[in-house]
Amino acid sequence: MGLNIRQEEIGAVRLLMLEGRLDTETAADFELALQDLRSAGEHEFLIDLAGIGYVSSAGLRVLLSLAKQLDGGNGSVRLCGLSPAVREVFDVAGFSKLFAIFPNRNGALGDMPQPEPAAVTAQKAAQLLGVRASAKPSPQAAQIARAAALLLGITPTAAVGKSGPSLRAPAASPSAFERQRSARQAQVPADGFLARLRRLFGAKP
């Protein structure tokens, strides 16, 4: 039996749901998946092991390597859903003291960071432009996010809560959509980073 890895994005958290065996044969696939996510800028991980029936030393090594990469404020990794057999392996190896382990997903997500939508949009725009995104959003994140949203034809709503401004899709009519986007683009300064955004999405600087 191999290893199946399903992913889900919950705010700033990358949820990985593993099913199968995490052993010598499958640990390499898991490690490659983590490397791809790290290269994409992911730094908050929740790994759900509810579907894992067996973990070998190779699987433990991959988890430990991820934890070391995120040590020192670079991010975090949490585990949840360990079966009694898998939890015993962690206990015997001393790994239970090295990881934050929770009974279920909801408990693990309780106090993990949930960024404002504006910060998330800014990070996505930075990745599209090949700009290295930092773990903490810059003070200009909201401005960049707004510019990116307008260039993509998304209109910010007026409602703003603790999670920041929400976004809604433009009107269904193509002509109204084009008029709205043109008007919004005219309000965005065409210099520096914003000009690069415009070029990326086909808008004239």
Three-state secondary structure of 17-86: EEEEEECCCCHHHHHHHHHHHHHCCCCEEEEEEEEEEEECHHHHHHHHHHHHHCCCCCCEEEEECCCHHH
Environment class of residue 190 by beta-carbon count within 10 Å: exposed (0-12), middle (13-18) or buried (19+)? middle
Amino acid 17 reads: M
Using CA atoms, how far apart are residues 29 and 151, in angstroms rounded to an integer?
A: 38
The H or E element spanning position 118 is helix 117-128
Q: How confident is the model at residue 74 (pLDDT cuts 50, 70, 90)?
A: confident
- Statement to judge: residues 78 and 145 lie in one domain: no
pLDDT at 47 over 90: yes
What does the chain come to in residues? 205
Same structural domain for residues 9 and 97? Answer: yes
Residue ending a domain, among 84, 109, 134, is 109
Q: Do residues 148 and 177 both lie within one domain? A: yes
Pick 94 or 175 by higher pLDDT: 94
Q: Residue 73: pLDDT band by 50, 70, 90 thresholds?
A: confident
Asked whether residue 43 falls in the same domain as residue 63, the answer is yes
User: 101 and 37, same structural domain?
Assistant: yes
Question: Which runs of consecutive H residues, i.e. helices, occur in 94-140?
Answer: 105-109, 117-128
Domain membership flag for residue 205: no
Over residues 177-193, the mean pLDDT reads 55
Domain count of the fold of the chain: 2
What pLDDT, on the 0 to 100 scale, is given for residue 110? Answer: 80
